[in-house]
Amino acid sequence: MSYFESDPDFSYIPSPLASLLLNDPNGRNSLGLLQGQSAQSASSAYLDLLRRLTPQSSIPAGTHSVPFAMGTAASLPQNPAAATAQFSLHPESDLLRKLDTAIRALDSTSGNRRSSWTAPGHAAEGQSDETQVAAGGDLMCQGVCSMGGTYGTTGMYTIGGRVLCPDCAAKAAGVADEPAAEKVRVLTPFLLQRR
């Protein structure tokens, strides 16, 4: 029975990386095998990792004798590496949960999950990009409002080669005092053309 299976109230689901560390597919302690290290050095490395992740931890340095079941209990005797992979963790300690939380965070920030986000219009080679860049930005008014007031709101008309906002265009064309409908009709031939 694994550590997780031993507690009926335990709803803990380890992250993929934690699962890989704690249980190998064959039900054996995979820590030493995974790291390519002896069980003893893997054990030390694992404890070091725990200490780094939990600075307030009271895990003492040195050899630890409290068994920590990884893999199935039945597999432990069959796996020489597991027999020596012992830690000072109490099985009910929530340190494992902290470790797994930390590993999940590492998973999400490391290269384990490659981000699929790309900037609009910059699809990677071989990928399709459905985003069409519509505009590089508004053309600002070059009339008097660029010196104060609205400080250059979006241009809409072209008069004398200058981009003008509706207010500045109306002033420049001398129709500011005309009724709104007439103002629009007079200024329509000056509308900014899309380039």
Partner 1 sequence: MTDRVDRLSGLAKGDIFHAASPNGASLICLVLAITKSTIEARTVTTQCHFVFDRRTGIAEWGADRVPCTIDSVAPLPPDIHRVMLEIDLKFRPGKGLDDYKLTATEKHALLFVDGHYASNRL
CB of 55 to partner 1, least distance (A): 59
Q: Which residues contact 86 (CB under 8 A, 6 or more apart)?
A: 43, 64, 65, 66, 67, 68
Q: Tell me if 118 sits within 8 A of 147, measured CB to CB.
A: no
Q: Of the candidates 143, 146, 153, 167, which one interacts with partner 1 according to CB under 8 A?
A: 143
Phi, then psi, of 34 in degrees rounded to 5: -65, -45
Scanning 23-31, 41-49, 57-65, 182-190 for contacts with partner 1 by CB under 8 A, the matching segment is 182-190
Q: Of the candidates 160, 166, 167, 180, which one interacts with partner 1 according to CB under 8 A?
A: 160
CB of 107 to partner 1, least distance (A): 45
Whole-number Å distance between alpha carbons of 29 and 84: 10
Taking the alpha carbons at both ends of the chain, their separation in whole angstroms is 71
Plot region of 10 (φ>0 → left; ψ -120 to 50 → alpha; else → beta): beta
Q: Of the candidates 73, 144, 149, 167, which one interacts with partner 1 according to CB under 8 A?
A: 144
Residue 167 found at the interface with partner 1 (CB under 8 A):
no
Q: Of the candidates 84, 158, 166, 167, which one interacts with partner 1 according to CB under 8 A?
A: 158
Whole-number Å distance between alpha carbons of 192 and 158: 5
Residue 193 found at the interface with partner 1 (CB under 8 A):
yes
* Beta carbon nearer to partner 1, 60 or 121: 121
Residue 178 found at the interface with partner 1 (CB under 8 A):
yes
Q: Of the candidates 101, 149, 159, 167, which one interacts with partner 1 according to CB under 8 A?
A: 159
Residue 145 found at the interface with partner 1 (CB under 8 A):
no
Total of chain residues touching partner 1, rule CB under 8 A: 25
* Beta carbon nearer to partner 1, 45 or 173: 173
Whole-number Å distance between alpha carbons of 70 and 1: 9
Angle at 155 between CA 154 and CA 159, to 5 degrees: 165
Question: Would you tell me which residues interact with partner 1 (CB under 8 A)?
Answer: 143-144, 158-162, 168, 171-175, 178, 182, 185-186, 188-195
